[in-house]
Amino acid sequence: MLKNFDEVIEKVRSIEPFTVSVAAAADKELLQAVKAAADLGFVRPVLVGDAKAVGDICADIGLRPLDILPAQGEDEAVDVAVRAVKDGGAQVLMKGLVNTSIYMRGILNKEHGLRTGRLLSMMAVYEAPGYHKLVYCSDSGINVAPTFEQKKDILKNILIATRAIGLENPKVAALTANEMVDPKIQSTVDAAGLVEYARSGELGLPCVIEGPIAFDVAFDPHAAAHKKIDSKITGETDIVIFPNMEAGNIMGKSWIHLCKCRWAGIVLGATNPVILGSRADTPEIKLNSIALACLAARS
C-alpha cells in the first residue's frame, strides 16, 4: 500500500531504471521533468524529434539522455517513439510537443502500434488529505459514457496496473449515486454487473469489489453503518470505477482545486503504460506521472 507520492518516488527509485521514450521531445518544460526523474535515478530517457532542437534543450538544462532518435514532424516522431517501445527498447511511452490525436493514432496503429485488444482508459491517482492511502480512479479522461463491456476493460486495465504497482487484492468501488440496482439508472446496473463479472472468475484478477455503491459508503465506515450496509471495503477503498467520464472529471477536479490533492495520471490498455499529460501540468504532476508509469510498467 502506497500512502502518498513520496512513497511512489521512493519505491520506483529502489528498482532498476526504466527507459522512457518521449515523442516530439523538443519541449523544455517537459524535459525538465524528465531530467528530474533521471536525476533521481529511475529514468533513462530516449528522446525523439528534431535532433538539434532536442540536443540544444538538453545542453541548456543539463540533461544527458540515453539516446536522441532523429525524426522530422509529429507523425514520424510518434512513430519512432512508439516503435522504441514496441521493439522493447523502452518500457514507457511519453507525449511531448505533439498533437494528442496524432499521438493516440500512433499508439492505436494496427501494424506498428501498442494495441492489446482492450480499450484505452485513463487512470488518475489522487493523494487526498484526510485519506490514509492513494486512490486509483478510472475513467475520468478518455471514455465519455462507457458501456458495460467497456467498463469491464476499464476495470481490467486498472487491476493490471495496480497489481504491477503493488496492490495484490485491491478493494474496488463501482461508484454510483446509491446502493440499489435501479433499471432506470444504467450505472447501477453496470456496477452490479461488474461485481458479478469479477466474482465469476472471468476477470482473472483478484479484487474485492462492491457495487453499486455511493461515495460516502465507499470511504466512510460511519456512513455504511448508518445505512446498515455490510461493506468489506468501506474506509479502505483502493480503486474507484466511475459511472462515466463526467463524474470522474468533476470529482477529480474538485479534489485537486478545493482539497489541494496531489495527483498523477497515465493511460492504460496499451501494451505499455502511456503518459499523455498536458502542457498545463505542473512539474510535480509530470514527475509523479512518470514515476507511476514506471511502476505500472513492471511485469
Structural domains in the chain?
5-115+270-296 (3.40.50.10950), 121-262 (3.40.718.10)
Other CB atoms within a 10 A radius of the CB of residue 50 amount to: 18
**Does 279 score more than 90 pLDDT?**
no
Residues 6+ apart with CB under 8 A from 23: 48, 49, 77, 78, 80, 81, 82, 93, 94, 95, 96, 98, 103, 106
When pLDDT is cut at 50, 70 and 90, the band that residue 277 belongs to is: confident
What pTM did the predictor assign? Answer: 0.96
**Does 299 score more than 80 pLDDT?**
no
Q: What is the pLDDT of residues 141-157, one digit of tens each?
A: 999 999 999 999 999 99
Cell, residue 84: 522504441
Query: Which ranges in the chain belong to alpha helices (H)?
Result: 5-13, 28-39, 51-61, 73-86, 100-107, 148-165, 186-199, 215-219, 221-226, 245-258, 283-296
Alpha-carbon span 258 to 231, nearest angstrom: 28
Q: Cell 493514432 maps to which residue?
A: 105
Q: Does residue 212 have a cis peptide bond before it, meaning omega lies within 30 degrees of 0?
A: yes
Query: Under a CB-based contact definition with an 8 Å cutoff, are residues 91 and 85 in contact?
Result: yes
User: Which of 77, 139, 122 lies closest to 270, judged by CA?
Assistant: 122
